[in-house]
Structure 1
């Protein structure tokens, strides 16, 4: 039986109450907190929605779209079972059936907060940015606030938007992304957003269309890359792509050999001022 607004409201309030700012890497201070858990403005900041809308959701006066529900689930670090419950209550269960997973579990969130000395970001299987740590922002100068598909690495690669990353061989990089995306599309044939992005790329990029019509299926993996940083200068780093089994997420980590010039440059990044709004962006 489908639940109504107040049921979802109760879930959202309870999930907000169990989190602390330090659990999600928020820059907000913990002084003078009157109630346990996150504040509504903190949830809104994490999910990319207004505090007023969070309040209306918690009061049962608004019904979230599927995209907002997914953003709230990530912000509140809910489990897969909790997310499925929220989908059923909100009437969105069918919309998420067969879609590329974007839920980041608590263990991955903890990893992001604890690996503070290396740039780390989490992407979904189709290479859309979901989350990152502060050092990722310092290295790439990007945030999650980029609109729509512009946080997707494949979209950016074929729209001449590689960010600060200099790839060893750009044609090979693009070919590996397309081959990998073809495999993802075969696993999630019912994902309308993924199909829409692929269709748009085929219409707007002759290079993508040519590669898409090929037969290669591969996985985009690790390689050495150069980041052209405007303050620190070129930084040569190892870029490794890790997989989260069961969640179908990609974790991109940039590292440098101990004692190397690049390691010193990474340490310099920690002294840079990072805008508060970018605390939790991108091209790899």
Structure 2
């Protein structure tokens, strides 16, 4: 149980709810944003003293019944509810030591069967752990990178500004926000994994943007449906972005496809021929 993170998360969720949302009068002498502690406790069917101790990081581990009441009172989403359980040391399923990196062979075969789509497999912490040829041509030859540099979260927040940061994508701010939110849930699922801890510490120390997003305690993860890559050889490539969750491995398959008949589809076809060649380099 992470008492401090649980306390901060509960407070951040309580402060975002207006009294009107739960049928309470706003009043004229309200000093705190959102609900008061006693109001949240009443909605969760627990005592104000108990709820206050939780927000002060002094409370005992909540039971699953109490967690259900808190999730209901604070109007948590499914992702936030799971995050709450992990922080309280009561994960919905069996806990794993760290995010799995081994990709199932059937998934690797799937990537190879998508010749007209750029596809990658992402680990829970944002590392590209598998990819097909078109993804390497569109984004980067990941095989030429050390493992550390394949982490797109690290690249988005700490990558040198001269290297295009994130392949010139049009949604870099949204990607950064979603990555920080997703990493919060991962840190709760794998509290003892040193790699997760080191990544979070590195990002907090090196990026004010990440620190601001991290301190919001948001864990909502909204998908990106479309993005544009600025490729150095073929120019802008606009693609649809679909994500398939591999729940048992805590991994995601990210598939980029272009609208049939569009210039971007032609660009992807050209990239499938060019591959990872650097035709813009002479000598």
Q: 2:182 and 2:149 mapped to 1: Cα distance?
A: 18
Structure with more relative contact order (C-alpha pairs < 8 Å, separation 6 or more): 1
Is 2:176 the counterpart of 1:166? no
Is 2:132 the counterpart of 1:133? yes
String of CA shifts for 1:239-264, please: whole Å, max 9, x gaps: 22221121111111110111112111
Partner of 2:217: helix, strand, or coil? coil
Structure 1 unaligned spans of 5+? 1-95, 276-284
Q: 1:220 and 1:180 mapped to 2: Cα distance?
A: 10
Partner of 2:274: helix, strand, or coil? coil
Q: 1:232 and 1:175 mapped to 2: Cα distance?
A: 28
String of CA shifts for 1:207-247, please: whole Å, max 9, x gaps: 21121111211225233111111111111111222211211
Q: 1:228 and 1:137 mapped to 2: Cα distance?
A: 14
CA contact (8 A) 1:144 1:151 kept: no
**Displacement of 1:182 after TM fit?**
0.3
Displacement over 3 Å in runs of 4+: none
- Specify the structure having the higher radius of gyration (Cα): 2
Q: 1:273 and 1:246 mapped to 2: Cα distance?
A: 32
**Displacement of 1:188 after TM fit?**
1.0
Is 2:132 the counterpart of 1:118? no
Residue from 256, 264, 267 that aligns with 2:266? 264
The structure-2 alpha-carbon separation of the partners of 1:101 and 1:233, relative to structure 1 and needing over 3 Å to count, comes to same
1:105 alignment counterpart = 104
Q: 1:141 and 1:198 mapped to 2: Cα distance?
A: 24
String of CA shifts for 1:108-150, please: whole Å, max 9, x gaps: 0110111122111111111111010111111113313322432
2:241 alignment counterpart = 239
C-alpha RMSD of the superposition: 1.9
CA contact (8 A) 2:133 2:275 kept: no
1:183 alignment counterpart = 185
Structure 2 unaligned spans of 5+? 1-94, 278-283
After TM superposition, the structure 1 stretch with the greater mean CA deviation from structure 2, 142-151 or 251-260, is 142-151
CA contact (8 A) 1:183 1:218 kept: no
CA contact (8 A) 1:127 1:250 kept: no
Q: 1:101 and 1:273 mapped to 2: Cα distance?
A: 29
2:202 alignment counterpart = 200
The structure-2 alpha-carbon separation of the partners of 1:255 and 1:273, relative to structure 1 and needing over 3 Å to count, comes to closer
Q: 2:220 and 2:155 mapped to 1: Cα distance?
A: 19
Q: 1:218 and 1:114 mapped to 2: Cα distance?
A: 32
The structure-2 alpha-carbon separation of the partners of 1:132 and 1:224, relative to structure 1 and needing over 3 Å to count, comes to same
Partner of 2:121: helix, strand, or coil? strand
Scaled by the length of structure 2, the TM-score of the pair is: 0.59
CA contact (8 A) 1:180 1:220 kept: no
Scaled by the length of structure 1, the TM-score of the pair is: 0.59
Q: 1:273 and 1:122 mapped to 2: Cα distance?
A: 19
The structure-2 alpha-carbon separation of the partners of 1:273 and 1:180, relative to structure 1 and needing over 3 Å to count, comes to closer
2:231 alignment counterpart = 229
Partner of 2:205: helix, strand, or coil? helix
CA contact (8 A) 1:112 1:132 kept: yes
